[in-house]
Amino acid sequence: MALGFAGTQILLLLAILLSAIGVPGQQASHPKTKQAPPSMGVATGAAHAAIKDSHSRPITAGGFVDDAPVVFSDITKQAGLEKFLHRSGSPDKKTILETVGSGVALLDYDNDGWLDIYLLNGSTIAALKGKETAPRAMLFHNNHDGTFSEVTEKAGVAKPTLGIWCGRGDYDNDGWPDIYVANYGKNRLYHNNHDGTFTDVAEKAGVALGGWSDRTYLG
């Protein structure tokens, strides 16, 4: 088929247009380049060396806490609590009474906003038979500076017992926490006198019981 000059120009123009826009189905197939996901964090600089405590245990890693150990330090003596020695029978445990006890009550007995500590004690068979001095409970007043002072005698909460359990609560709803102690023997209900002292009112309240008590809840 013969084309005139005008027809040749039209074909040339079509060829140029097709080359410019490309022909469907003939585009080169290029694999898409895998792109990294957008970052969700903010770089804060190079990693930091782990910080270690006085025992060379790592506290931090890379500047952040990472599997750091939970470290407790024994500050019993520093806090003034070393006077209390818990007794629970003899080491060979010949009776079941020597395998139980005792308890602790955390209470703000003087309402100064700082928790104080009442530590119940067990006993020994010899003490129960009157052959040796019975271990006693102790009440420690919080000095607001990480230390405690023993106030057991002043507070009147040291009656000898074989303590099994103790609880704190305001049984008479006067705003001052009281202490109930479950014992092998008569129980104690220490009423808070609002002046740093307590009075055992278990007999009067009818909760002295006797025998073997367990699991006191006072709230």
Cβ neighbors of 44 (< 8 A, separation 6 or more) are 63
With contacts defined by CB under 5 A, name the span among 87-95, 122-130, 150-158, 177-185 that binds Ca ion: 177-185
Candidate residues 66, 174, 203, 214; the one interacting with Ca ion per rule CB under 5 A: 174
Candidate residues 98, 110, 150, 200; the one interacting with Ca ion per rule CB under 5 A: 110
Q: Which is nearer to Ca ion, 116 or 200 (CB)?
A: 116
Residue 218, Cα to own-chain centre: how many angstroms?
Answer: 22
CA separation for the pair 67, 36 (Å, rounded): 29
Q: Which is nearer to Ca ion, 134 or 151 (CB)?
A: 151
Q: Which is nearer to Ca ion, 98 or 178 (CB)?
A: 178
Q: Which is nearer to Ca ion, 165 or 176 (CB)?
A: 176
Task: Restricting to residues 134-153, name those near Ca ion by CB under 5 A.
Answer: 142
DSSP letter at 61 equals: B
Q: Which is nearer to Ca ion, 178 or 200 (CB)?
A: 178
Whose CA is closest to 184, among 130, 141, 121?
121
Size of the site for Ca ion (CB under 5 A): 12
**154 and 196 in contact (C-beta within 8 Å)?**
yes
Say how many C-beta atoms besides its own lie within 10 A of residue 152's C-beta: 18
Candidate residues 98, 116, 150, 200; the one interacting with Ca ion per rule CB under 5 A: 116
155 backbone dihedrals φ, ψ, rounded to 5°: -80, -20
Binding positions for Ca ion, rule: CB under 5 A: 108, 110, 112, 114, 116, 142, 170, 172, 174, 176, 178, 192
